Structure 1
Amino acid sequence: MNLLPVKKAILSVTDKSGLADFGAFLVDNGCELVSTGGTKKMLADAGLPVTSVSDITDFPEILGGRVKTLHPHIHGGILADKDDPSHMETLREFGIEPFDLICVNLYNFADAVAKGLDLKAAVEQIDIGGPTMLRATAKNFHSICVVPDPKYYPVVRKEIEEKGGISLEFRKEMAALTFKLVSEYDAMITEYLSNNDA
């Protein structure tokens, strides 16, 4: 797929700068928003229509928020190859709708470390669902676009405004940037755990 129309997106972010404007732009361009927790609240408070991830999964967030997006109705919609008829048939069989854009940025683990939190508290700031969605979306860049940082919102907007969708070239570029970002995040956690006693 070369040009990707954006009709359904997940927004789930720690850094909420520019989020309401970006969400409003997506809605104005015919995109359905799906979100979690504080991100969903911010979008709703801005007057935007937004669906809870729990409504998609038909399962509540559990374990204090540790498990919310780790579900086939989320990852099936992220990982489906839209050019593969068998993938699309599987989505139809299980009532899963594909996503077109995943906008996720990660828990600020560096900030947790800087605050001098003890090991148990710091570990709670290790993001699991976020990197999983980022990696899944980046892997499937032929069918979906990953947006890992607010600084890319203007470029995504420009793509949609000028082309009516997001180009394959841009999606591939964002995928490479995302794998780099997740690698750096994991390296930071590796260093922290290696240098702190249990």
Structure 2
Amino acid sequence: MRAIISVANRDGLVELAQELQNHGVSIFSTSGTLNALKTAGVQAEAVSTLTHFPEILGGRIKTLHPAILGAILARRDIPGHIEELKAHNIAPIDIVVVNLYPFAETIARPTSTLTEAQEQIDIGGVTLIRAAAKNFQDVIVLVRPQDYVPVMQEWSELGEVSIETRRRLAAIAFQHTACYDTAIAEYLRIPALDYFPEELTLPLKRIQTLRYG
């Protein structure tokens, strides 16, 4: 099995990677995550070993490549998909662990600039998340560190991650990217020119779970 790991929030990263390796998973990572893993003594390879193409544009292009997206999106139950992968020497990717650049945290700083905000708009990470979530029957997608331990526990206890858990993780992933995109859209919108837009979404976070009601 193979995993792509590319995270801005590295909470629980090393422990997760070690658990994945205990399950025989080969890990491929983007530069920052790869350095963190290697510093911790975790064996991992650069995603460029899959794409045979370096990161370019100062890291703006890392994972947007058919060798990665095809490996995630290919359906294992469609023989034609598997044949195409083999024809292009692409091995499937089974696990995607990604969380996104800290856009909300960046724009919350009083001194942040438009240029700084733009650099925190994640493109490749969102693409990986959505691809994995779309193909959740075949690919496990993890976007929150708090999900690492329960998912690995389920895998250890049951020998697999259930389809119900995979679907729940996919829903979490799409909610994650939806809130992320909403924050970007709201930041870029100029209220004086677009006081009440035609389409409006509100990213809300639960503060606490009520005891009743």
State the TM-score, normalized to the length of structure 2.
Answer: 0.87
Gaps of 5+ in 2: 193-213
Task: Determine if contact 1:119/1:196 at 8 Å carries over to the other structure.
Answer: no
* Aligned mates of 2:94, 2:190 — CA distance in 1: 40
The reply on whether 1:60 has 2:54 as its aligned counterpart is yes
What is the identity percentage for the equivalent residue pairs of Structure 1 and Structure 2?
45
* Aligned mates of 1:93, 1:164 — CA distance in 2: 31
The reply on whether 1:122 has 2:79 as its aligned counterpart is no
State the TM-score, normalized to the length of structure 1.
Answer: 0.94
Inter-CA distance 33–95: structure 2 relative to 1 (3 Å threshold): same
Gaps of 5+ in 1: 1-6
- Which structure: greater helix fraction? 1
| CA shift digits 1:10-48 (9 cap, x unpaired) | 110000011001100110111100001111011111111
1:3 matched residue in structure 2: none
1:91 matched residue in structure 2: 85
* Aligned mates of 1:129, 1:89 — CA distance in 2: 26
Higher RCO (Cα < 8 Å, 6 or more apart): 1
* TM-superposed deviation, 1:196: 8.1
2:43 matched residue in structure 1: 49
Provide runs of 4+ in structure 1 moved above 6 Å.
none
CA RMSD of aligned residues (A): 1.2
1:102 matched residue in structure 2: 96
Inter-CA distance 84–114: structure 2 relative to 1 (3 Å threshold): same
* Aligned mates of 1:94, 1:157 — CA distance in 2: 31
The reply on whether 1:194 has 2:154 as its aligned counterpart is no
| CA shift digits 1:45-68 (9 cap, x unpaired) | 111110100111000000010001
The reply on whether 1:158 has 2:153 as its aligned counterpart is yes
* Aligned mates of 2:164, 2:31 — CA distance in 1: 32
Q: Which among 133, 148, 151 is matched to residue 128 of structure 2?
A: 133
Give the match's secondary structure for 1:38: helix
